[in-house]
Structure 1
Amino acid sequence: MKNIDSKLYQHTPSVSVYDNRGLTIRNIDFHRTFAEGNTDTRITRHQYDAHGYLNYSIDPRLYDTNSGQPNFIWQYDLTGNLLRTESVDAGCTVTLNDIEGRLVLTKLATGVIQIRQYEDSSLPGRLLSITEQIPEKAPCVTERFIWAGNTPEEKNYNLAGQCARHYDTAGLNQLRGLSLTKNILSQSRQLLTDDQETDWVGDNETSWLAKLNNETYTTQSTFDATGTLLTQIDAKDNVQHLAYDIAGQLKNSWLTMKGRNEQIIIKSLTYSAAGQKLREEHGNGVITEYTYEPETQRLIGIKTHRPSDSQVLQDLRYEYDPVGNVISIRNDAEATRFWHNQKVVPENTYNYDSLYQLISATGREMANISQQKHQFPSPALPYDNNTYTNYLRTYTHDRSGNLTKIQHSSPATQNNYTTNLTISNNSNRAVLDSLTTDPAQVDALFDTGGHQKLLMPGQNLSWNARGELQQVTSVDHENISDREWYRYDSNGMRLLKVHEQQTGHIPQQQRVTYLPGLELRTTQNGNAITENLHVITVGTAGHAQVRVLHWETTPPADISNNQLRYSVDNLIGSSQLELDHKGQIISQEEYYPFGGTALWAAKNRTEANYKTIRYSGKERDATGLYYYGFRYYQPWIGRWLSADPAGTVDGLNLYQMVRNNPVTFIDTDGRMLEPTSSRTEAVQSPPSLVSLTRNAVAGFKHYNIEDIRQYLGGIRELRGSAYAHAHSAAEKFITNLENSRKKKAPDESELASKGYPQTLSQAAKVVGKTSDKYTPKFDENAQNPDRISLTKTPIGTGIPAKGTKNPLNPVLEFDAHGNEIFYRTMSEQHYEHLQQTGKLPPTTETSISPALSYSLDYKGHTVQFITKPGTFEQLKEIGIAANKPAEVQFPHMLKGIGEWMQTNARFKVEGGQMTTQLGQGMAIETFNRNIIGYKLVRSERKN
């Protein structure tokens, strides 16, 4: 195996130290960059209050500076709700709840005060408005919520009790129709006019509507009975149609542009039994095949070829170290070339330190490329593969995980340079050394909320009240500045980008409006619109997205109207090739590990100008920044532009990019890293046991015989007798179906007469007899589960950070990440089962408790379980209220006991609190697949 010296990792375990309450007070890591080097012991320290809530955390670097300021300090109110968060990176935030536990006031680190107003006690208590006040400015009402009533028209569209009109930070979002499953059937968006600030003051909607542009963008969708998207009609009447296989995974897609015939986008998609993509045939005839390592199921090959002429366009081969870090990527579709007496191989290699941070990378780059900051290199026109050369990049990190230095070397071209960053002594804030070389001056280049104020010398950054990038000013003119400014919706997603500049004495404006499945791009010179482009987006960026370029104005001379651009991506979703409708190459691009462009070629300059999706499947703005969703990313220094809004989910350093391992991990929206394996999984969420039984039985009549047999290959995850029951039932149905189709199409009564179950409950008896065998496909350890440990989970996981005052709530404690905490006392035998499988063993009751004190009253091993947010809600969906107090707490829940153990969760009030009994079937499987980790609290009976 390449690039691995096992000695580097010897004696470098991850160690956790616990106090006598079982709380983690130290995380110890051992750092080495090469095998024979010195080992640096790095200790992260945590402290808790008397109630066991996390008080502060400090990393090794800040602790050693003796500054006395931890990375994070948390304070809680008397009920355990998080009251104050103080971060050296993101500043201090204060939150206050009302007596109902609802958030009413937030004071952000920048001094902005947000106040939420709710309905009075005679109404359901829904949110009515959000008011924000910037220091030294008048308060503004930034959001208004108008709730639908109970009129016949509102009920016809399933809007009763829903938020029908939402005036937010971008304009008006209007809900026009919901399905019975609460999927949005129709919604419209109107944007604020450019000269309007967000302030929905007063109670007159007419005055609010006057602030909006006249144009309304309406998106319509249809769904099947399970809530799966079938069609989407965008704001310009283009129709996307999706089809799924019998397992609920995306199989085909089509696009019908307004006034044109339907065209196929995805001809076919096939998956493995684990839900991973195996083969994708695109509408242009190009085929992409995925190969996985049998032992680990890691992706080891992505091959894209054009069958029409047997041309292999891309053939990426991945190699990993034993823990899953990518150590080499080779493109077998490219030839080895020679230039200036050097051998240039189409291969990238990567080396890591003992903490799995990237410390060096090799690859190829254009020979004429220079050091990149926010500028973008010119493409090779046309393709000129002979001008590639080798490069070596090395990366240096400090003890907080900050990238401090990038050294670039290309011996053949003497393209050697070093990018240095200056890190604050008191935080993880950092800037290029061209802005300052004095660590004491770094914090002054950020506002109190951790938002960078200067991109490059002379390029000012402005942020709005919510900490979203509002404007980048590059050049100040007397009348108009060269700038780029943005608007976002209430969820923080960008809806509008406007780039303004002076060309001679004529102002030029480029505008992009982002809508579901559609981008509206216009260019205006003076008062004349010179380009009106609709970009129809099919699929998700970073997942083989297809973009269709339709010009309402005259298209450029080098591009035909309605051009299809198929993106061919790599493991992290970066767009490496663009192909046209015939499978011919439009452009080719390769990237440095942290996102700069190393290789860039295109068919012509015009084609090159219309590529917008690049590194990690994200859009690169004219500023050089990549927009991820919740944050902007600086690829030239491998850092985020602002602190992580998700807090410590990825560690104490809020600016670090995917733990300095950008080849192995991805970040889809700027908040949290994910393994790259998630990219090749099925588009649809893994089916629950209920949906499997529905598809396996009642849904078979809608599919042909081959589809049914293909589905059987995809439900082997049931395993054991559960799979046998499903297989036997399906084969029986195939026989009946074949026989009946010889006479006429089957109907419900005919199926029933054949003895085939028609209702979901009957189907569950067929497939779900041994539902405890069911394991969802997203469980990576389904065949041989590892022990679950908290040692490598985000800081604060499992530490109660907030709670609820209602003693009858099934969940009383949440950690800082919103994970739900439960307790159970069990026997030695059951605890051993938990250690071996990572799962709670099924019993006739298998009760879990929300309170430690209740569980300690029983003899045995008391274990704390940390589960994903929403675990209780999933159990509630299959819940039964088992006694009168539980019926009062859950008046709409099924009542009684009945035969519940294979299907339902049973909620019961005993000992002054709500216990949840999981039984032996669906409920305990739901609980087990939501377990993040567990911890032994004590193993003796309480005295």
Structure 2
Amino acid sequence: MNTSPFISTPTVTVLDNRGLTVRDIAYHRHPDTPDVTTGCITRHRYDARGFLTQSADPRLHETGLANFSYLTDLAGSVLRTVSIDAGITLTLNDAAGRPFMAVSNIGTADDGTEDLSRAVTRTWQYEDATLPGRPVSITEQPTGEAAHITERFVYAGNTDKEKALNLAGACVSHYDTAGLTQTDSVALTGVPLAVTRRLLKDADNPDMVADWQGDDVSAWNALLAGESGGYTTLTTADATGAVLTTTDAKGNQQRVTYDVAGLLSGCWLTLRGGTEQVIVSSLTYSAAGQKLREVHGNGVVTTYTYEVETQRLTGIKTARPAGHAAGAKVLQDLRYEYDPVGNVLKITNDAEETRFWRNQKVVPENTYVYDSLYQLVSATGREMANAGQQGSNPLSATVPLPDDGAAYTNYTRTYTYDEAGNLTQIRHSAPSTNNTYTTKITISDRSNRGVLSTLTENPAEVEALFTAGGQQTRLQPGQALVWTPRNELQTVTPVVRDGSTDDRESYRYDAGSQRVLKMSVQETKASTQKQRVLYLPGLELHSTQSGNTETESLEVITVGEAGRAQVRVLHWTSGRPAEITGDQIRYSYDNLTGSSGLELDGDGSIISAEEYYPYGGTAVWTARSAVEADYKTLSYSGKERDATGLYYYGYRYYQPWAGRWLSADPAGTVDGLNLFRMVRNNPVTLKDNDGLISFEDHYSHTEGGMVYGLSESRSQYIRKISPKFSIADNTDTLVIDKYNNALAMTIMFGQHSETQNQQINLDFYSATEDKTQKKLGAKIKVPGEIFDVVKRKFNHPEFKWDDYSSPGKDNPKFNIPKIYQQVAKKIRAGLLPWLPDGRKGVSCAQTIMEAR
């Protein structure tokens, strides 16, 4: 490793006399020119009260622009946010601190004034003063259109029947943009035991908008499709709230067991009408909670090795052991090498052979080079000889599995970035096959918005290819993108025809902006082909239709707990291809960043193997049959690849051929001021689970780790409980004290009556002496099992608590009181934006912990 680019390149933070960060200075060096150093300065401004008013990156500051500008009220709550990437947003709360009105997608006209032509106004309605003040509806109105009530909340009463089901006071019916989510039963621990999903009538039509007008529940139900009562998911849980079994809407049951530390120890699946079969037979963990060994139902064993000093993952080996029915064989043996700070330098697959072709040695390894900002600047690897130029069209699988060297060749890729971290050029070179090309990305001169140069090479024209909220409106020339008022991708038009119907792929989402339905329509000379996917808990329902005839009906059971592997079972009710056995089990084995590389069947035989370029896209894909390859769903980062070539992450779509997100980050500045940058330009070391924030997989298991920090995806849950909570803009949301402060705030407002809350709030923040605050902290009586209490008390279908806590599932050190103790020792007094008076003072988490 060449260390010269990294010498004397510290990250410098400049503070003013109030302790506020006014400059972040980084020093950039490229390994090709280590003698050239460029200072990159990010600037911040504050008002007289110490609240952030402006942040500008090195690139845009030179043009006189700021990435973000803020207007706050007297308490420091942000009222107006101006983002050059995501547009202008106005947010108002009511007197109780609850969301009242928000206006988003406000653009900026050429003369600098606000452009409201595409703005969306959202308002919240609540119960009256005689009731607890819970939300009852949400109304949305795009400019120039009628207002729609897009969400309704119905709460259970206090009858004996409702009490018996633990529903009293809980939200039992949530009417949203996809239909209805109904909670029929809840455990004492707060785990939903029976949840039913019903869709809107004509939900397949992307132009169908949910509108729950009036107060008549029967009228709302009349807008729902009559799919025999809907799709119900059943769950059982133990006394601690741990899920034991899950039965999906088609009657397939998954069962899991845990060890004494609460970690997964086994998983079984029973298909409807069938017998129970093993998915995971055993898992072994280290003292630090790291997985050491997994044995799956196909008899395949995966072992993991780690660096002793850092606990970084150094090896993933998947093999059929001696005595296996299919014969002993190492199927995948990934070896990782890192630099001192944890960047991946090399990945080698020792299970693959070194091959020779056209006077070149093709080794099954990838190497990576970084600049001083830890941005990936060069990568080498192997690709299929027929790879061609990467684009939105997928690489076809090589069939059957190759046994010679003629299928592979070496490639080199180099990456170029601007001062704001925008990827501007990808240079690909594979001399043996003359597969050499350059992909250029044109970046706006007024923001970080960017598109392929095939759409425009003029930076001044880029803004016209985005919505006011920062959503790209063209994928490729002629391919339009349409977005919902909530900034969710609604429709893609991959093929446009003159005088006839266009091809399209459309999507529908729930209240949490998670995809519920996908519809694809292709026109042929003979008929219209339609593919439909309905996403349910643990289940996907696929159907294919030619004209008015259904040609295929496929149920895909997605196993939720299968160790590191992702397991899917393909069950056809009609139209099963002759080349695939019924109820085929597919085990997908991933790498460090979650990409699906090796796919095995229930007998431990290889179905397919896939390798990826660093920023996504398939470099190598081999399969034993073309038909089986067509049914592979999981791909780069373990995400679904749509027919458009886009990867669906949950909150955003990613375009791998450009190395950019398709829309601005809805989580704001959690990953920096550039809202389109993919995992901080380090895609081999970092990963993104849901399209909101990047993190390392090899986090610290002894210190709590960076994954316990807050991002917008988590803070939305805190705001449901404590509406006054907000993440300060331009703060590192991975800092653990922010996370614990939020939890502490949650308990303060969640464990007492409204009157008690008001008094505690008044007393706590008016206290001037630490001793007084400590006494008040003791009065609060925060329990050790903070998360369990919050989850139990604030159960709601909209709260995806499992997603909220998922980073801690693999970590036995998820001990909130212990982490509080560590934080209390390290935390500094500073501006805590969630405090009602915004003052400098004692950390709430610290105070509570010291009072325990």
TM bracket (short chain): 0.7 to 0.9
1:321 alignment partner, one of 339, 346, 351: 339
Instruction: Give the Cα–Cα distance (whole angstroms) in 2 for the partners of residues 36 and 332 of structure 1.
Output: 33
Does 2:212 correspond to 1:200? Answer: yes
Checking the alignment, whether the CA contact within 8 Å between 1:302 and 1:316 is kept in structure 2 is yes
Given candidates 275, 299, 308, the residue that maps to 1:261 is 275
Contact 2:425 2:438 in 1 (8 A): yes
The aligned counterpart of 2:419 is 399
Q: Deviations over 1:454-484 (max 9, x none)?
A: 0000100000010000000122354532000
Q: Which runs of 5+ in 2 are unaligned?
A: 106-117, 713-717, 785-815, 832-839, 842-852
1:521 aligned counterpart, secondary structure:
strand
Query: In the TM superposition, what are the counterparts of 1:210-609 in structure 2 within 5 Å?
Result: 210-215=222-227, 216-307=230-321, 308=324, 309-384=327-402, 385-386=404-405, 387-477=407-497, 478=499, 480-539=501-560, 543-609=564-630
Q: Residues of 2 paired with 1:560 and 1:170: CA distance?
A: 34
The answer to whether 1:870 aligns with 2:730 is no
Measure how far apart 1:871 and its partner are. 2.9
Q: 1:488 to 1:558 in 2, by over 3 A?
A: same
**Aligned ranges for residues 26-45 of structure 1 at < 5 Å?**
26-34=23-31, 36-45=34-43
Larger of the two Rg values belongs to structure: 1
Q: 1:36, CA displacement in angstroms? A: 2.9
Opposite residue 212 of structure 1, the aligned amino acid is L
- The structure 1 residue matched to 2:86, chosen from 83, 90, 113, is 90
How far apart are the structure 2 equivalents of 1:873 and 1:418? 51
Q: Which runs of 5+ in 1 are unaligned?
A: 682-775, 782-787, 797-802, 822-837, 840-864, 892-905
The equivalent residue for 2:108 is none
Q: Distance in 2 between matches of 1:442 and 1:334?
A: 44
Distance in 2 of aligned mates of 1:53 and 1:513 = 45
Deviations 1:630-652 (Å, cap 9, x if unpaired)? Answer: 00000001100000000000000
Q: How does 1:672-683 map to 2 (within 5 A)?
A: 672-677=693-698
Q: Is the 8 A contact 1:17 1:25 kept in 2?
A: yes
For the structure 1 residues 642 and 164, does the alpha-carbon distance in structure 2 shift closer, same or farther, using more than 3 Å as the test? same
In the alignment, structure 1 residue 77 sits paired with structure 2 residue 89: no
Aligned to 1:124: 132
CA distance in 1 between counterparts of 2:826 and 2:418 reads 30
- Mapped contact 1:542–1:572 kept (Cα < 8 A): no
How far apart are the structure 1 equivalents of 2:541 and 2:577?
17
- Provide the rounded CA distance (Å) in 2 between the counterparts of 1:55 and 1:871: 26
Q: Distance in 1 between matches of 2:101 and 2:295?
A: 52
Q: Supply the AA of the counterpart residue of 1:21.
A: R
Give the counterpart of 1:928 among 821, 825, 828.
821
Give the C-alpha shift of residue 5 in structure 1: 1.3
Deviations 1:198-231 (A, max 9, x none): 1111222222222211110000101111111100
1:887 offset after TM fit, Å? 9.1
TM-score by length of 1: 0.77
Aligned to 1:114: 122
Deviation at 1:373, TM superposition (A): 1.1
Checking the alignment, whether the CA contact within 8 Å between 1:13 and 1:30 is kept in structure 2 is: yes
Report the 3-state secondary structure (helix = DSSP H, G, I; strand = E; otherwise coil) of the residue aligned with 2:530: strand
TM-score normalised to structure 2 length: 0.85
- 1:189 aligns to what? 197
Cα 1:887–1:85, aligned 2, differ >3 Å: closer, same or farther?
A: closer
Q: In structure 2, give the amino acid aligned to 1:207.
A: A
2:574 counterpart SS class = coil
CA distance in structure 1 between the partners assigned to 2:436 and 2:257 by the alignment: 51
C-alpha distance in structure 1 between counterparts of 2:241 and 2:731, whole Å: 26
Deviation at 1:298, TM superposition (A): 0.3
- Tell whether the 8 Å contact from 2:283 to 2:563 is kept in structure 1 after alignment: no
- Match for residue 610 of structure 1? 631
Query: Alignment partner of 2:469: what SS?
Result: coil
Residues 20/615 of structure 1: CA separation in 2 closer, same or farther (3 Å cut): same
Counterpart of 1:725? none
CA distance, structure 2, for counterparts of residue 422 and residue 916 of structure 1? 56
Following TM superposition, by how much is the alpha carbon of 1:542 offset from its aligned partner in structure 2, in angstroms?
A: 9.8
Corresponding residue to 2:175 among 167, 171, 176: 167
Cα drift, residue 82 of structure 1: 1.1
Give, as a single letter, the amino acid of the residue that structure 1 aligns with 2:616.
Answer: G
Q: Any conservation in 2 of the 1:31–1:41 contact (CA below 8 Å)?
A: yes
Contact kept, 8 Å, 1:875 with 1:926, in 2: the verdict is: no
Contact 1:84 1:94 in 2 (8 A): yes
1:646 has 2:559 as partner: no
Partners of 2:830 and 2:275 lie apart in 1 by 64
Q: Which amino acid aligns with 2:187?
A: S
User: In structure 2, what is the Cα distance between the partners aligned to 1:890 and 1:237?
Assistant: 48
Deviation at 1:924, TM superposition (A): 6.2
Contact kept, 8 Å, 2:99 with 2:723, in 1: the verdict is: no
Between 1:208-217 and 1:494-503, the stretch displaced more is 208-217
Q: Specify which of 26, 46, 49 is matched with residue 47 of structure 2.
A: 49
Q: Is contact 1:542–1:575 with CA below 8 Å preserved after alignment? A: no
Q: List per-residue Cα deviations over 1:53-86 (Å, max 9, x = no partner).
A: 110000000012x2x2200001111222110110
Q: Secondary structure at the match of 1:319?
A: strand
- Deviation, structure 1 residue 908: 10
Alignment correspondent of 1:144: 152
Match of 1:779 in 2: 704
RMSD: 3.2
1:556–1:814 CA distance, 2 compared to 1 (3 A): closer
**Can you list the C-alpha shifts for 1:589-611, whole angstroms capped at 9, x where unaligned?**
00000001000111111000000
Residues 916 and 503 of structure 1, relative CA distance in 2, 3 Å threshold: farther
Matched, 1:25 2:22: yes
Structure 1 CA distance, aligned partners of 2:89 and 2:401?
Answer: 52
Shift of 1:888: 7.9
Indicate conservation of the 8 Å contact 2:255/2:268, yes or no.
yes
1:495/1:932 CA distance change after superposition, 3 Å: farther
Q: Is the 8 A contact 2:710 2:738 kept in 1?
A: no
Name the SS of the counterpart of 1:531 in structure 2.
strand
**Deviation at 1:665?**
0.5
Once the two structures are TM-superposed, the CA of residue 779 in structure 1 deviates from its matched residue by 2.6
The answer to whether the 8 A contact 1:114-1:130 is kept is yes
SS of equivalent residue, structure 1 residue 607: helix
Per-residue deviation, residues 753-806 of structure 1 (Å, max 9, x unmatched)? xxxxxxxxxxxxxxxxxxxxxxx856359xxxxxx9xxxx9999xxxxxx99xx
Identical residues among aligned pairs (%): 53
Pairs within 5 Å for 1:808-887: 815-816=728-729, 866-868=738-740, 870-872=742-744
The 5-angstrom pairing of residues 694-713 of structure 1 reads none
1:915 aligns with 2:787: no
Q: What is the Cα deviation at residue 181 of structure 1?
A: 1.1
Moved more, 537-546 or 428-437: 537-546
* Partner Cα distance (2:652, 2:825) in 1: 26
Helix, strand or coil for the counterpart of 2:432? Answer: coil
Query: Map of 1:671-750 to 2, 5 A cutoff?
Result: 671-677=692-698
Give the counterpart letter for 1:352 in structure 2: Y
CA contact (8 A) 1:367 1:388 kept: yes
Matched residue SS, 2:22: strand
**Conserved 8 A contact 1:650-1:794:** no
CA contact (8 A) 1:811 1:820 kept: no
Residue in 2 that maps onto 1:61: 59
SS in 1 for 2:413: strand
CA distance in 1, matches of 2:817, 2:330: 48
